[in-house]
């Protein structure tokens, strides 16, 4: 429990307590699962790979496949070339994936393993069969976060696979960022509803949200194919959702193949979804169908109907930077007051963007990147909030301070639904509103005096 947290705040420069993040390889592993027929490979010790797999499994409630170079003391001293070469030989012989996505860990980074050289040697030795592909991303855990690892692996997809053949294709690239399979499925639905052809990468829908039919598939039917990834170099435009997770890959694609980019935030809530729809309309050369307009209208109606319950409510938000930025904008649209807005990931853009959103509505908001949940708890002890929105680890603060809590982002380890019900788009915004409204009213019903316990609040 976090009931040992004190209200007295002391400066901390080198110490993080309950950081609102995890390590790079987890993000890289998740991104790799968004490629069809891909085997994520952890170039490091068995313990690292086991933790990363279990953490993703606990969030998605699905078995997560991955292999490891199984470093021992010898590899730590002499390097991991032999381990990686043997691992690739075993992987292609036993599992026969279309592609292997290698990501490094702290140990392989500290000893300085040259992964591109190792991959090249494996190709020359015939360890990697003809027609098979191996890509890599450097993902040391001692810098960045899982968000950084996801961005690095997504960028590696572009670096290794995107090709420019000189014939522009009438399609868009859509980089959805670190979101759940349900969110990617919803984004694909919106794109299809708009009548736009798009290559979505990475795409974990159909990989980590499979229906139960009694059969196990090591390589599910979902994921972006290698051919689709190659075609991204000839697309007419890239729409990148999320500064931290998607913009680096879009920039790489522009520099490598000259594909122009539209840099957006995640389409969470009214304003950011409007911007996403506008980008699809503009770059796809299509009109917005009435069905999308109806969805927007229903969201506006709900925002109007429920305004009294959200008005001026103080909120604490913690999570991944891309999620938190978009959510802050949505709460602002709902006339709520995000009082504390933090992320565990580093990056000055986070503070700049959130401060810009809140400068008129909540000018005194505490906004901090590279922060932790201990600091958030201390601030709440000094000036309480009406609602907390964040991942599962925020539940300890909510319990101790008796504050309504909405689970949102990554990881959500103790509830279901995030795999199946989106938070993006107009329909996702309705779901978020429902969760927030239920949490606030349930708390009121539970805590109010008898004379205020009404049938209809």
Active site residues: 106, 110
Compute the half-sphere exposure of residue 338: CA atoms within 13 Å on the CB side of its CA.
Answer: 27
Bridge partners, 240 (sequence order): 175, 263
Of 49, 50, 48, 53, the closest CA to residue 64 belongs to: 53
DSSP string, 227-279: HHHHHGGGEEEEEEE-TTTTHHHHHHHHHHH---EEEE---BSHHHHHHHHHH
Q: What are phi and psi of 129, to 5 degrees?
A: -65, 155
The DSSP bridge partners found for residue 370 are none
Which residues are registered as beta bridge partners of 136? 102
- Which residues on adjacent β-strands are paired with residue 263? 240
| Residues pairing with 406 in the sheet | 389
Q: How is residue 323 written in tokens?
A: 């999620």
Closest CA to 255 of 350, 345, 164: 164
Task: In whole angstroms, give the CA distance from residue 396 to residue 45.
Answer: 32
Q: For residues 374 and 11, is the Cβ–Cβ distance under 8 A?
A: no
Structure tokens at 25: 């390889």
């Amino acid at each position: 429990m976090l009931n040992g947290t004190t209200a007295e705040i002391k400066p901390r420069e080198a110490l993080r307590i309950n950081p609102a993040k995890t390590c790079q390889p987890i993000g890289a592993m998740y991104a790799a699962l968004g490629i069809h027929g891909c085997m994520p490979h952890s170039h490091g010790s068995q313990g690292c790979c086991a933790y990363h797999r279990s953490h993703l499994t606990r969030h998605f409630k699905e078995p997560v496949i991955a292999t490891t170079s199984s470093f021992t003391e010898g590899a730590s001293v002499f390097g991991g070339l032999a381990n990686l070469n043997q691992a690739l030989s075993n992987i292609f012989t036993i599992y026969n994936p279309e592609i292997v996505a290698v990501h490094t860990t702290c140990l392989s980074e500290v000893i300085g393993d040259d992964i591109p050289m190792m991959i090249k040697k494996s190709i020359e030795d015939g360890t990697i069969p003809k027609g098979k592909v191996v890509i890599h991303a450097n993902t040391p855990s001692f810098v960045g976060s899982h968000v950084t690892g996801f961005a690095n692996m997504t960028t590696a997809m572009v670096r290794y696979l995107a090709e420019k053949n000189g014939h522009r294709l009438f399609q868009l690239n859509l980089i959805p960022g670190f979101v759940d399979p349900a969110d990617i499925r919803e984004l694909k639905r919106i794109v299809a509803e708009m009548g736009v052809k798009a290559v979505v990468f990475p795409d974990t829908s159909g990989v980590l949200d499979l229906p139960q039919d009694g059969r196990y598939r090591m390589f599910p039917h979902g994921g972006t194919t290698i051919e689709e990834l190659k075609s991204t170099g000839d697309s007419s435009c890239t729409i990148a959702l999320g500064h931290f997770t998607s913009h680096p890959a879009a920039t790489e694609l522009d520099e490598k193949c000259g594909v122009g980019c539209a840099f957006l935030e995640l389409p969470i809530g009214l304003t950011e979804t409007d911007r996403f729809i506008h980008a699809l309309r503009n770059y796809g050369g299509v009109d917005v169908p009435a069905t999308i307009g109806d969805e927007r209208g229903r969201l506006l109606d709900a925002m109007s109907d429920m305004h009294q319950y959200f008005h001026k409510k103080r909120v604490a938000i913690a999570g991944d930077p891309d999620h938190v930025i978009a959510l802050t904008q949505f709460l602002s649209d709902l006339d709520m007051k995000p009082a504390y807005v933090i992320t565990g990931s580093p990056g000055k853009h986070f503070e700049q963007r959130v401060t810009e959103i809140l400068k008129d509505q909540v000018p005194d908001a505490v906004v901090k990147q590279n922060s932790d949940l201990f600091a958030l708890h201390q601030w709440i002890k000094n000036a309480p909030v009406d609602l907390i929105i964040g991942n599962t680890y925020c539940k300890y603060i909510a319990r101790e301070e008796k504050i309504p809590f909405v689970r949102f982002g990554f990881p959500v380890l103790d509830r279901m639904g995030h795999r199946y019900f989106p938070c993006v788009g107009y329909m996702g915004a309705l779901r978020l509103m429902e969760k927030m409204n239920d949490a606030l009213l349930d708390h009121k019903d539970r805590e109010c005096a008898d004379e205020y316990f009404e049938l209809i609040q």
